[in-house]
Amino acid sequence: MGGTSNDELLVLHRALVEGSADASVPLAEKLIPILKAKLGSLNAEARDPHVVESAIGYGVARYLKEPEAYDPTGRTLPNYLAMDIEGDVRNELAKRRRQQARQESLEEEVVELRSRDRNSTVEDEALDAVDPFDLPQAQVDAARRLLGQLAPRDRELAQLVADGVRSYAAWATMLGIEHLPVEVQKREVKRQKDRIKKKLERMGERSG
């Protein structure tokens, strides 16, 4: 254990439990190299040494905050901490694998969409015709007057209305969903248009 005996650690542990402010730093200085040696094999699995180092730092800090959670009659202090920290590392790696799988799935969808042979002009015109977005001039005027009272995203969408923008592609781009399948875009654009339309109608009534 890097020249540090478990008896030495127990002396510091007891002092920490008793409230000694001087025990935390020497305990951390002794524990961290011991734990790095014990958990070093996880670096190959993690492929990122910062994962293990961060987990060790967090695990030691957690112990220093609640030292009474450790039972000296059971495992040695390094073995007790190493078991908990290894669990933290494996949980983090599992989380990263799930995130990577979701990212790869999304990238596959985007590649598939982009690989389709589509006439974008014709398709965009057809989609625009699906849900024409016409508003009475009074509502458009209300949008122009009251833009400053809207939340930032609603202000951007209301600006499209105030500017008379009807292009389906423009709405999809503003919403940041142009990379999604067309059917998904259609549903979301229509949902947002309906929501803004109702909000502008209420604004028009209040300002009228």
Q: What is the pLDDT of residues 84-96, one digit of tens each?
A: 999 888 888 888 7
Q: Residues of 18-44 as b/e, b for ≥16 C-beta within 10 angstroms?
A: eeeeebbebbeebbbebbeebbeebbe
Q: Distance between CA atoms of 14 and 20, rounded to whole angstroms?
A: 9
What is the structure's pLDDT at 6? Answer: 85
Per-residue pLDDT of the chain (208 residues; tens, 9 = 90+): 446 788 899 999 999 999 988 899 999 999 999 999 999 888 887 777 788 898 999 999 999 999 999 999 888 999 999 999 998 888 888 887 777 776 766 665 555 555 544 444 444 444 444 444 555 666 666 666 766 677 777 877 877 776 666 677 777 888 888 778 777 888 888 888 888 878 777 766 665 5
Q: What is the pLDDT of residues 149-165, one digit of tens each?
A: 777 778 778 777 766 66
Q: Distance between CA atoms of 59 and 78, rounded to whole angstroms?
A: 11
Q: pTM of this prediction?
A: 0.48
Q: Distance between CA atoms of 27 and 10, rounded to whole angstroms?
A: 10
What is the structure's pLDDT at 127? Answer: 42
